[in-house]
Amino acid sequence: MEQSGTSALLQGVVQDLASGVATALRGGGHAPWAGEALSEGRTDGVVLAAVRVMGADLLLPHALLGTPPGPGELTAVRTAAEAFPPRPGAAPNVAWSHWGMTRALHRADPAPAGPPLAEPGTAWLRDDSWQSLTHRLAVLAALAVPGEDSAVARGAQRRVVDVARGFVRAVRRRDWRQAAGAGRWLALLRDVPETLGLDAGLDFVELMGGDDACVALQVRAARLMRSGVAA
């Protein structure tokens, strides 16, 4: 029961943070996006865990719109990255998510961030089935940022048709978070099949995602990239 309560609390804080980022993306980066938890100065374990779940996306308005992040966001991401480093042999999603957080910190504030981390392993980008690839990329949607060169972005570009297939599959399975994450990657990639109807698909995913702020964040990021507003 206690574990279930902690999980629910964590998901609530994640939703709060994602809602703040989504609102800032919709408002052109002018709205504060720290979320209620960080605005109140909370640094407890649940808040840091939620920041770790959000990863680089907590700094997404800075990456897409050039709006400077506040010290609260930078401190939260830096503290979470230090508190939850990937263990040796960590799964690719975990290792790459951590790498993305450190990259976002380096973009936002290079001096204290130190040198960039080396990229984790990439064999999965070649070997995964299109279903597994789409799942991993959706989890790593925070790495889908214009101008950010990484092995994940290059690998996704080489398999753009597979990502498109995965997007359609996620929509059919009503997996709105996976569909939104895959849609964000497709907004970044070149040579997406026109028959996919990505813009209409993103509209549908946002509608069906309902009140899930994580879905809204990914869809709004995708729209900014599609519109050319993002840097």
Tens of pLDDT, residue by residue over 128-187, are 999 999 999 999 999 999 998 999 999 999 999 999 999 999 999 999 999 999 999 999
Q: Are 79 and 44 in contact (CB under 8 A)?
A: no
Dihedral sign from CA coordinates of 213, 162, 62, 9: positive
Confidence band (pLDDT; 50, 70, 90) for 1? Answer: very low
Instruction: Using pLDDT thresholds of 50, 70 and 90, give the confidence band for residue 209.
Output: very high
Q: Which of residues 189 and 36 earns the better pLDDT score?
A: 189
Task: List pLDDT tens digits, range 79-128.
Answer: 899 999 999 889 999 999 999 999 999 888 866 656 678 899 999 999 99
Report the distance separating Cα 64 and Cα 50, nearest Å.
21
- For the beta carbon of residue 221, count every other beta carbon within 10 angstroms: 29
Q: Which amino acid is at 206?
A: E
pLDDT for 66: 87
Distance of CA 136 to the CA centre of its chain: 12
In the block, which residue shows the tokens 């230090």? 82
Mean pLDDT across the stretch 223-227? 93
Ranges of beta strands (E only) in the chain are none
pLDDT of 226 reads 93
Predicted TM-score (pTM) of this structure: 0.91
Give residue 192's pLDDT band: very low, low, confident or very high (50, 70, 90).
Answer: very high
pLDDT band with cut points at 50, 70 and 90 for residue 196:
very high
* The total number of residues written for the chain in this structure: 231
Give the Å distances, CA to CA, from 84 to 59, 153, 184, 194, 226: 18, 24, 26, 40, 33
> For position 221, what pLDDT does the model report?
97
- How many C-beta atoms surround the C-beta of residue 218 within 10 A? 35
Neighbours of 162 (CB within 10 A): 18
Higher pLDDT, 67 or 205: 205
Is residue 50 within 8 Å of residue 79, measured between CB atoms? no
The pLDDT, as a whole number, for residue 26 is 87
pLDDT of residue 22: 93
Amino acid 180: pLDDT: 98
Handedness of CA 144, 97, 12, 138 (dihedral sign): positive
